[in-house]
Structure 1
Amino acid sequence: MDDLSLEKIEIPGPTLASLIQRASSSPGDVDGLLFGQIHRIVSTTLSDDSPSEPPPSSSSSSSDQIVATVTSFISSGKTVSFYDPLGRVDSRRIDSLQLGSPDRLLGWFSARRTTANRPSMRELAVASSLSSRFQLPIENSESPNSMSSSVFILLTTPLTDQLIHTHEYRAYQFRPLNRRLEPRSLGIVNIGPAFRGHYGSFNPKSGFPPLLCEVSSSAMMNEDRDEGSLSGKKQAVKDQKEVDALADGFGVGSLKRLVGPEAASYTGGVEEMYERMLAKVESLASEVEKSSAKVLELDNHNRKLRYRVARIER
Structure 2
Amino acid sequence: MDDRPPLQKIAISGPTLASLIQRFSTSPSSLDGLLFGHVTLLTPLNLSDDPSTASSATTTSDESTSSTTLVATVTGFISSPSPTSTIYDSTGTVTQTSLRNILNNHHHHNNHHLIGWFSARRKTPLRPSMREFSVTQSLSSLSAFSSQIQNSPNPNSTSSSTASSSSSSFSPCIFILLSSPFSNDHIHTHEYRAYQLRASSSFEPKLIDIVNIGPAFRGHYGSFSPNAAFPVLECDLGISSMNEDRDGNADKEDERLSVMKEKAKDQRELDGCAEGFEVGRLSRMMGSEARSYTSNLEDLYEKMLAKVENLTRLVEQSNAKVLEQEHYNRKLRQKIRAAASE
TM-score range relative to shorter protein: 0.5 to 0.7
CA 1:122/1:232 → structure 2, altered by over 3 Å: closer, same or farther? Answer: farther
- Give yes or no for contact 1:11–1:189 (8 Å, CA) kept in 2: yes
Structure 1 runs (4+) deviating above 6 angstroms are 230-233
One of 83, 88, 93 as aligned partner of 2:88: 83
Distance 1:183 1:22, change over 3 A: same
Q: Which residue of 2 aligns with 1:148?
A: 171
Letter in 2 for 1:69: T
Q: Deviations over 1:196-218 (max 9, x none)?
A: 869xx9xxxxxxxxxxxxxxxxx
Match of 1:72 in 2: 76
Equivalent in 112, 135, 148 of residue 146 of structure 2: 135
User: What residue ranges of structure 2 are gaps of 5+ in the alignment?
Assistant: 156-167, 214-220, 231-253, 263-342
Which shows bigger deviation, 120-129 or 159-168? 159-168
C-alpha root-mean-square deviation of aligned residues, in Å? Answer: 3.3
Question: What residue number does 2:223 align with?
Answer: 194
Which residue of 2 is the match for residue 112 of structure 1?
Answer: 121
The structure that has the greater radius of gyration is 2
- In 2, Cα distance between equivalents of 1:72 and 1:114: 25
Matched-pair contact (CA < 8 Å) for 1:28–1:113: yes
Shift of residue 93 of structure 1? 1.4
Q: Percent identity?
A: 46
Q: Shift of the alpha carbon at 1:57? A: 5.3
Residues 97-123 of structure 1, C-alpha deviations (whole Å, 9 max, x = no match): 112222121110000001111111110
CA distance, structure 2, for counterparts of residue 93 and residue 129 of structure 1: 13
3-state SS of 1:139 partner: coil
Alpha-carbon separation, structure 2, partners of 1:37 and 1:174: 16
Report if the CA contact (8 A) 2:43-2:64 is conserved: no
TM-score normalised by structure 1 residue count = 0.59
CA contact (8 A) 1:40 1:67 kept: yes
Structure 1 CA distance, aligned partners of 2:80 and 2:35?
12
Kept in 1, the 8 Å contact 2:194–2:207? The answer is yes
What's the counterpart of residue 64 of structure 2?
A: 61
Cα distance between partner residues in 1 of 2:126 and 2:180? 8
Question: Which has the larger share of helix?
Answer: 2
Q: Under a length normalisation based on structure 2, what TM-score does the superposition of the two structures give? A: 0.54
Secondary structure of residue in 1 paired with 2:223: helix
What is the SS of the residue equivalent to 2:138? Answer: helix
In the TM superposition, residue 190 of structure 1 has moved relative to its aligned partner by: 2.5
Deviations 1:6-52 (A, max 9, x none): 11111122111111111111110000111111111111344444359
Number of the residue aligned with 2:41: 40
C-alpha distance in 2, partners of 1:181/1:45? 33
Q: Are the counterparts in 2 of residues 29 and 78 from structure 1 also a CA contact under 8 Å?
A: no
